[in-house]
């Protein structure tokens, strides 16, 4: 007689079955968010791969644009960069290079849009922020309209302040902000509808530069000239000598510090100092015979000096005497006149930025006229 056995689980096995079921339930409950995260990561990887493919596809147009820009064919360079952008619209460097080409064409509004797009695509792009700030400084130095100058200086200062916030120990950005403020002060009385500053802010930035990089000769020299213009807190003669002497010690073959120190010496009521001023002018002229202001200083400083009653108090005349040394703004090394150092830019600037500010007089006048008519408006 066959016995039928009912299949029933062992009582001891029940807890294990319950645990297994609970584990499976938990896995199912967690699989939704985990799967979503994995899917999102996969989507990001695919998107990045697609962007890389676009960048590779756009690279011939970009190289062509670079070659055209280097050859001075900026209209064609803009077209080449635009073709590259149509292929790789997420590549921030393409907008940056097109912006620089537009600057060369005085299309400042287009350049501003491209700089902003480059920064929106890559908010951490130091190069894009510096390039846009330098464009504003360039324009600020070439307009006689105080409000237009203030608009440009405000934007340049904001960009450099952001860079300083993220790079607090980089002296380059303090120096760049100081030179922008100095340009504004030399172009205006220090005030505009949008912006206001004074020489104390320039000096404060230069103090920071020297603290971070005690070997930057241009910082000492610009601090001396800025101090000589500071009516609110005029420097002592010893302070001016200290900065100019240190600039000479750091760069003994640089003509400009001798010229600036000569201006300091010429302003004093001391015949011996006047002889030293002429000697410094001669040294500057021998170091850089191509700079006419040095030879002119030899002649000027040999003439009878203004009486004390004719002088402004606090060394302000020094700044006025030396102001022509800051009138031309172009990228340069410490071997150039001081004016060339006002817009000194970091070595990693885009290739076009180093070419941007050598405009001929006709182009400069056109840029100034355009800017006065509408700050960043095009024709």
Among residues 336, 342, 217, the alpha carbon closest in space to that of 288 is found at: 336
Rounded Cα distance, 95 and 85, in Å = 7
In a domain, 322, yes or no: no
pLDDT per residue as tens digits for the range 128-182: 999 999 999 999 988 888 898 999 999 999 999 999 999 999 999 999 999 999 9
The reported pLDDT for the residue numbered 288 is 95
In a domain, 106, yes or no: yes
Rounded Cα distance, 227 and 203, in Å = 7
In a domain, 148, yes or no: no
Domain range for 77:
57-123
3-state SS class at 191: strand
Give the mean pLDDT of 62-73: 87
Tokens of residue 169, six digits: 């120990």
Tokens of residue 277, six digits: 């001023």
Q: Which residue has the tokens 């006689």?
A: 144
Q: Which residue has the tokens 């440009």?
A: 152
In a domain, 70, yes or no: yes
Confidence category of residue 91, pLDDT binned at 50, 70, 90: confident
Q: How many domains does the chain have?
A: 1
DSSP character at residue 288 = -
Rounded Cα distance, 347 and 162, in Å = 19
In a domain, 109, yes or no: yes
Q: Tell me the angle at which helices 361-374 and 108-121 cross, rounded to the nearest 10 degrees.
A: 80
Among residues 69, 63, 55, 151, the alpha carbon closest in space to that of 112 is found at: 151
pLDDT per residue as tens digits for the range 173-191: 999 999 999 999 988 887 8
Rounded Cα distance, 374 and 4, in Å = 101
Question: Is pLDDT of 259 > 80?
Answer: yes
pTM value > 0.85: no
Q: Tell me the angle at which helices 255-266 and 292-300 cross, rounded to the nearest 10 degrees.
A: 20
Confidence category of residue 12, pLDDT binned at 50, 70, 90: low
CATH number at residue 63: 1.25.40.10
């Amino acid at each position: 007689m066959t016995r039928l056995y009912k299949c029933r689980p062992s009582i001891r096995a029940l807890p294990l079955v319950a645990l297994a079921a609970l584990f499976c339930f938990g896995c199912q409950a967690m699989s939704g968010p985990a799967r979503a995260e994995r899917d999102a990561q996969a989507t990001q990887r695919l998107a990045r791969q697609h962007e890389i493919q676009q960048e590779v596809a756009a690279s011939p147009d970009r190289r062509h644009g670079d070659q055209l820009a280097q050859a001075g064919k900026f209209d064609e360079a803009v077209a080449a960069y635009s073709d590259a952008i149509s292929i790789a619209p997420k590549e921030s460097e393409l907008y940056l290079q097109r912006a620089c080409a537009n600057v060369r064409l005085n299309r400042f509004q287009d350049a501003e849009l491209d700089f902003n797009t480059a920064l929106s695509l890559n908010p951490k792009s130091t190069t894009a922020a510096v390039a846009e700030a330098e464009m504003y400084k360039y324009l600020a130095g070439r307009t006689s309209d105080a409000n237009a100058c203030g608009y440009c200086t405000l934007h340049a200062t904001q960009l450099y302040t952001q860079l300083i916030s993220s790079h607090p120990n980089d002296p380059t950005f303090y120096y760049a902000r100081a030179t922008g403020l100095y340009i504004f002060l030399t172009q205006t009385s220090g005030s505009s509808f949008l912006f206001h500053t004074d020489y104390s802010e320039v000096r404060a930035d230069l103090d920071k530069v020297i603290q971070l990089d005690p070997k930057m000769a241009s910082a000492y020299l610009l601090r001396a000239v800025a101090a000589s213009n500071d009516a609110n807190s005029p420097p002592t003669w010893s302070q001016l000598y200290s900065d100019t002497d240190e600039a000479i010690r750091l760069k003994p073959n640089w003509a400009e510090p001798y010229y600036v120190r000569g201006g300091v010496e010429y302003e004093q009521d001391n015949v011996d100092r006047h002889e030293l001023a002429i000697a410094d002018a001669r040294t500057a002229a021998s170091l850089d015979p191509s700079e006419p202001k040095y030879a002119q200083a030899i002649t000027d400083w040999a003439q009878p000096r203004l009486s004390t009653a004719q002088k402004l108090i606090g060394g302000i005349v020094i700044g006025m005497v030396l102001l022509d040394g800051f009138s031309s703004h172009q990228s340069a090394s410490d071997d150039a006149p001081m004016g060339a150092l006002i817009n000194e830019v970091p070595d990693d600037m885009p290739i076009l930025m180093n070419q941007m500010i050598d405009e001929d007089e006709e182009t400069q006048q056109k840029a100034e006229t355009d800017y006065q008519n509408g700050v960043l408006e095009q024709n």
